Amino acid sequence: MGRSLTYSQKLALGFGLVVLVALAVAAVAVAALREVVARKDQVIDVAALRMVHAERLHADSARKAADTRAYLMSGDRRYLAATEADRAHFLATMDQLSREVQTPEGAALLKEVGRIEVIHNRAVDAILSQPVTRESMPRLAARTEDEVRPLRTQLDQAVDAFVAREQQLLDEGRAESTEIARSASREVLILSGLGVLLAAGIAAFLARTLARQISTAARHVQTSSAELQAAAGQQATGAKEQATAMAEITTTITELLATSRQIAESAKRVAGIAAETAAAAAAGDQTVQRSQDSVGTIRRQVDLIVNHMLELGRKSQQIGSILEIIDELSEQTNILAINATIEAAGAGESGKRFAVVAEEIRKLADRVGGSTKDIRALIDEVRSAVNTTVMATESGSKAVESGARQFTEVTAAFGQIARLVTTTTDAAREIELSTKQQTSAVEQVNAAIASVAQATREAEASSGQALETASLLANMSTDLARLVQSRNAA
C-alpha cells in the first residue's frame, strides 16, 4: 500500500498525524487550564470570603464592647440599643460562617466561639440590668473589668483560633491549586515531547521510505540505461524506423525545453513571494514584540498597585492603633470627669462650677468615643476593600503573566516562520538556477540528438532489444515520476 501512495500523499498523511497530536496536546492543555482556573476561583471566592467574614467577628465584638462601655459611662439608652444591634450582627455573621465552614475542626471552633459569646452576653446583661447613675458608674466599671473583660479576652482568643484555622485552610487551598497548575504543566510538556518525538519518527520514516524507493528506481534506471547503451553500441547502422523514433525524441526534448523554461519562471515567482512573506513575518514579529513590551508595562503597573494597596492596609492598621489609644484616653477622661463630678458634689456650693466643667469634659469624652467608633468602622471597611482589591489585582497580575508567556511563544513562532521562509526562498532560487542550467543542457542535448538522428539512419543492428530496454526504461521513469509528483500533476 505504501508504494501506491504519491509523494504529496505521504507528506499529507504525516502532517495529518502531527496535527492530530497537536490537537490532543491542545485539548489536554485546555482541560488542565480549566481545572486550574476552577481551583483558583474556589480559593478566591470561597476561602477568602470566609476569611473576611471571620475577621468581621473581631469588629462586631469590638463595637459591642464599645457600645456597652458607652452606655455604662453615659446611661444613654441609644448605646444600649446599639449594643443589641451589635449582638444581632455578630450572631448573623456566626450563622453565615456556620453555613460556609467546610471542616469539622472549623465547625468545632465556631461552636466554641458561640458558647463563649453566650457566656459573655450573660455577664454583660447582668451588669446592664443594674441602674446606671453617677454613683453606680464606678462600681459598674469595676465590675465590668473584673467579670466581662476576661470573657472578652476568651472570646477574642476563640475568634483568633477560628481565624487561624481558616487562614490555614486558605493557605492549603492555594498550595493545592498551585500543585494542580504544576501537574498540568508537566502533563502538557510530556505530551508536547511525545508529539515532537512522533513527528520526528514520522519524518524519519517518510525519509527512509522515499529514499529507499527512489534509490531502487534509480538503480533500475541505471541498469536499463546500461543495457540500452550496450544495445546501442551493437547498432552499427541505423534504420529508417529508428530515425523516425529519433525525430519523435527531438520533439519531446523540445517540449521538455519549454517545460523547463516554465519551471524556471515559476521558481522565480515563488522566490519573490517567499521574500514578501519573509518581510511580512518580520513585521509581525516586531508588532508582537511591541505588544509584549506593552504587556510588561501593564504587569509592572499592576505590581505597583498591589504595593500601594498593601501600604494603605498597613497605614489603616497604624490608624487603628492610634484610635485604640484615643479610645483609652477618652475612657480615662470620662472616668476622671465622673470622679471630678463626685468631688465637686462633695465640695458643696463652691464646687458647682467645677462640676459644670467636669460634665462638659465628660460629654466631650463621650463624643470622642463615638467618633472613635465611627472612625474604626470606616477603617474596617477600608481594610475589607483593600483586601478585596489586593486579591483582584493579584488575579489580574497572574492573567498578565499568562498573556506575557503567550506573547513570548508567538514571538518564537514568528521567528521560526521567518527562518522557514528564508529557507524556502533560498531553495526556490536554487531551483531557478538549476532549471536554467537544465535548460542549457537540454538545448545541448537537442543539438546532439539532431546529430544522432543523422547517424541512426545508418544503424543496422537489432533494434528489438533496444526497444524492449527503452520500454523498461520508460516504465521505471514513470515510477520515479510518481514518487515526486502529485496525482494531479501526473
pLDDT for residue 231: 61
Residue 121 in this model has a pLDDT that exceeds 60: yes
Q: Are residues 93 and 203 in the same domain?
A: yes
CA distance 16 to 27: 16
CA distance 25 to 32: 11
How far is residue 131 from each of residues 68, 75, 139, 264, 379, measured CA to CA in Å?
14, 9, 11, 112, 34
How would you classify residue 103: left for phi > 0, otherwise alpha for psi between -120 and 50, otherwise beta? Answer: beta
181 vs 105, higher pLDDT: 105
> Which of 64, 206, 221, 88 minimizes the C-alpha distance to 148?
64
478: number of CA atoms within 13 Å, CB side?
A: 8
327 and 372 Cβ atoms separated by less than 8 Å:
yes
Hey, which of 3-17, 39-53, 114-128 has the most confident mean pLDDT?
114-128
pLDDT for residue 488: 47
Question: Using the 8-state DSSP alphabet, how is residue 342 labeled?
Answer: H
Q: Are residues 390 and 484 in the same domain?
A: no
CA torsion sign for 423, 427, 430, 432 is negative
- Per-residue pLDDT band for 240 (boundaries 50, 70, 90) equals low
For residue 241, the one-letter residue type is E
| Residue 48, C-alpha cell as written in the block | 477568602
Counting the structural domains of the chain, the total is 2
CA torsion sign for 261, 264, 268, 273 is positive
In this prediction, what percent of the chain has a pLDDT beyond 90? 0
The string of pLDDT tens digits covering residues 467-478 is: 676 677 767 767
Q: Are residues 168 and 248 in the same domain?
A: no
Q: What integer is the mean pLDDT of 119-135?
A: 79
pLDDT for residue 487: 44
Q: Are residues 47 and 169 in the same domain?
A: yes
The string of pLDDT tens digits covering residues 291-342 is: 767 777 877 777 787 787 778 777 777 777 787 788 777 778 878 778 877 8
Q: What integer is the mean pLDDT of 191-219?
A: 72
Q: What integer is the mean pLDDT of 357-383?
A: 79
State the average pLDDT for the chain: 74
Q: Are residues 52 and 199 in the same domain?
A: yes
CATH for 454:
1.10.287.950
122 vs 48, higher pLDDT: 122
Hey, which of 17-26, 85-94, 259-268, 277-286 has the most confident mean pLDDT?
85-94
Residue 42 in this model has a pLDDT that exceeds 60: no
Q: Are residues 156 and 14 in the same domain?
A: yes
Chain center to CA of 277:
31
337 and 359 Cβ atoms separated by less than 8 Å:
yes
Show Cβ contacts of residue 152 under 8 Å, excluding neighbours closer than 6 positions: 61, 65, 120
Q: Are residues 412 and 356 in the same domain?
A: yes
In this prediction, what percent of the chain has a pLDDT beyond 70? 76
C-alpha distance across the termini of the chain, in Å? 19
Q: What integer is the mean pLDDT of 349-376?
A: 77
Residue 349 in this model has a pLDDT that exceeds 60: yes
Chain center to CA of 462:
79
Q: Are residues 104 and 250 in the same domain?
A: no
Residue 45 in this model has a pLDDT that exceeds 60: no
List the domain range (segments joined by +) for residue 340: 237-460
481 vs 385, higher pLDDT: 385
Q: Are residues 245 and 257 in the same domain?
A: yes
Q: Are residues 184 and 308 in the same domain?
A: no
The string of pLDDT tens digits covering residues 409-434 is: 767 776 777 777 788 777 777 877 77
pLDDT for residue 324: 78
